[in-house]
Structure 1
Amino acid sequence: MRAAKSQSRSRASVSTDKSLEGSEEVSGVLAEAEENGGEEEAAFRRQYAEASVRNEDSAPDKDVCEEERAIGSAKGSDRSVAQKGFKGFFGSQSVAEGEEDDLAFPAVAAPPASETFRRRRLTFAMQGNIPPHTPLSQVQQRVFRSLEIGDVPKVPLPFREGQVGTFSCHGIEPSYLDTRPFVAKINQDRGICVYPFAGHERMALFAVFDGHGEQGDKVSEFCMYEIPRALEAHSSLKGGDDNMIHTLKESFLTVDSRLNLEVGIDAFFSGTTAVACLVKGKRLWVANAGDSRCTLATADPAGTKRLLARDLSTDQNPDSPGEMARIIKNGGYVSPSPEPGLSARVWLDPEYTQVGLAMARSIGDRAVKGVGVVAEPEVVEYSLAEDGSDKFLLLASDGVWEFISSQEAVDIVNAHLEKGVSAACQVLIEQAAGRWRDVEGDYRDDITALLIMLPLFK
């Protein structure tokens, strides 16, 4: 997992490898950065150079993807999101064996005829000319991107052992260099677990964000911090559980509005999904905007050992009747799914050439907010069964759900829980990555999963 750094938010960071400090590669990059961009640029380039050298000298011995554990804790007055507790962040740029850092080894641009390799799976597709818009000012741009590559130190989670597990894997895309078949993508997935939440010892927040577009990693990271902040600041949060649905909806909308004003993030053609689960005692609320998903695993009433999947969120596809009606009413256009398993898309024009967003709700994506794409989440409230039949919650980005059903995901996790909670997440992601390899070859989406064993609070 990752710990990223911004000027206004503090969090734990991953220490760099001091043994690399004197290497020629690092020294050369550092000298150039100091000459051209000052100390801040030098620090930024130093960590990338060290990571590149480390990766080149000793590639991780993982076949599918590099492990990224949840990391990040806040102490004392430095806690961000005004929290007196733990925040775990995950989702980063990491490089697996046979893959290369896309910043250290940029891929050559593909010829136009070859641009169809992943268009079927891209969340945001453009078939025609990009509609004009005014980018936000870059004067005060913040550094949101992860600077670490590979394994990071593990930080103890604030729950008892075996309670919460996480795993994230960056995507890959074809390289047009002869020396390598594919390159690593920057991981645009983000996730967070916050406990205790809003000062309540029996309340916790979990969320997964799947960014898309040119600045999707910045959008998802912005939301990773701002969703908890908006929730904690909402007056209704202290007004009782009856207002929780309203509070979650308003908080998502507040963050979407803040994003539009954020200097350094251009969310016109970039956005993120958001699936958040707020747990309070034995009640929980799941808010979802987009196609990330939250699934509950519960015991089979028939008494078998199999756990049954029950989705607590709905993938908000553009061709869902209610979503499509809203989009068309607002002047948008919805193209049907081109083939089974692929998403319908929202377009700005009847020729289906401009934008092509593969979801009906998201945070960001200002280009299509005028045609019925909304940030307001659907919220589901659920009370855990008194008999203890509810076993775990699984939140994951669509890198998991693209080729694995909710029931199959529950089966995979349940079959490997004896290895540990994070290990079960790892197996799920490895199997999802294998499906991507079998179907799409040298393209794979980012894949992230968060697993919470129930009950969270005794």
Structure 2
Amino acid sequence: MYVAHVGDSRIVAGVKNRYNRIEPKALTIDHKPSNRSEIERIEKLGGQVLYKNGVPRVVWARTKHSHTGPVRRSTHVDHIPFLAVARSLGDLWSYQFEHEDYLVSPEPDITHHIIDPEHHRFLVIGSDGLWNMMSVYDAVRQVEKYSWERANKSGGRLLSHTISKQLVQTTINKWNARSLRADNTTAITIFFEFPRS
């Protein structure tokens, strides 16, 4: 399995260990402006990371709203702590002409993983709204528990869409319990079902 990842959504595998317990194995590293390597890359391109409401963000240097005419070195700019991700697709505003590169990079991390039918059970792909409220351990435990319950009630079929829905609902309930406005929350659960010989 190849994984091409950019941003702060996360992919976690549920993997059976030697004690027959399912454990989480993160397959991606979040591209956040709190990561030392991402800060160094951004600063090397002339950008910066500032905190806003306790969250590190990539700074958007934009001309003041009152500015008219061409942009020169003497043009006054506002420095706005903007995005809480260090890599994403489509953030053209972050292009640095001087360095011919993006502060918010579209370059993915690409990894290769061998799926072992004896150990790999499922993947959980979730947006940051999911992972901000739920640990990888809690997510894997919930998928493991729910998949067994559903498999036993549905004649052996794993209903991954209902498991994903439950992950999202559990997360939204956690956002609400903390009286916080929920971040976008998406989950996809993929089960590995291997043919039996």
The TM-score range, normalised by the shorter chain, is 0.7 to 0.9
Report the equivalent of 1:383.
114
1:447 is paired with a residue whose SS is coil
Matched, 1:308 2:23: yes
Q: Deviations over 1:127-147 (max 9, x none)?
A: xxxxxxxxxxxxxxxxxxxxx
Aligned partner letter, 1:287: A
Query: Which structure dedicates a bigger proportion of its chain to strand?
Result: 2
Matched, 1:439 2:178: yes
Aligned partner letter, 2:82: G
Once superposed, what is the RMSD of the aligned Cα atoms? 2.2
Query: Aligned partners of 1:347, 1:409: CA distance in 2, in Å?
Result: 32
Aligned partner letter, 1:311: A
Q: CA deviation at 1:439?
A: 2.2
Report the equivalent of 2:16.
299
Query: Aligned partners of 1:457, 1:440: CA distance in 2, in Å?
Result: 46
Preserved contact between residue 333 and residue 352 of structure 1 (Cα < 8 Å): no
Give aligned pairs, total: 167
Q: CA deviation at 1:375?
A: 0.4
- What 5-or-longer segments of structure 1 have no aligned partner? 1-283
1:123-138 matched pairs, under 5 angstroms? none
Aligned partner letter, 2:26: D
Report the equivalent of 1:413.
143
Q: CA deviation at 1:337?
A: 7.2
Query: Aligned partners of 2:39, 2:125: CA distance in 1, in Å?
Result: 25
Query: Aligned partners of 2:46, 2:129: CA distance in 1, in Å?
Result: 30
Identity across the alignment (%): 28
Preserved contact between residue 6 and residue 31 of structure 2 (Cα < 8 Å): yes
Q: Give TM-score scaled by structure 1 length.
A: 0.34
Structure 1 segments, 4+ long, off by >3 Å, are 336-339, 455-458
Matched, 1:449 2:187: yes
Q: Deviations over 1:137-158 (max 9, x none)?
A: xxxxxxxxxxxxxxxxxxxxxx
Query: Aligned partners of 1:344, 1:456: CA distance in 2, in Å?
Result: 42
Q: CA deviation at 1:372?
A: 2.0
Preserved contact between residue 52 and residue 81 of structure 2 (Cα < 8 Å): no
Q: CA deviation at 1:333?
A: 0.8
The 1:440–1:291 alpha-carbon spacing in structure 2 relative to 1, beyond 3 Å, is farther
Q: Deviations over 1:392-423 (max 9, x none)?
A: 01111112111111111111111111323222
| From 114, 117, 127, the counterpart of 1:397 | 127
Q: CA deviation at 1:456?
A: 6.0
Q: Deviations over 1:359-416 (max 9, x none)?
A: 0100111112325211010011100125x11100111111211111111111111111
1:356 is paired with a residue whose SS is strand
Q: CA deviation at 1:433?
A: 0.4
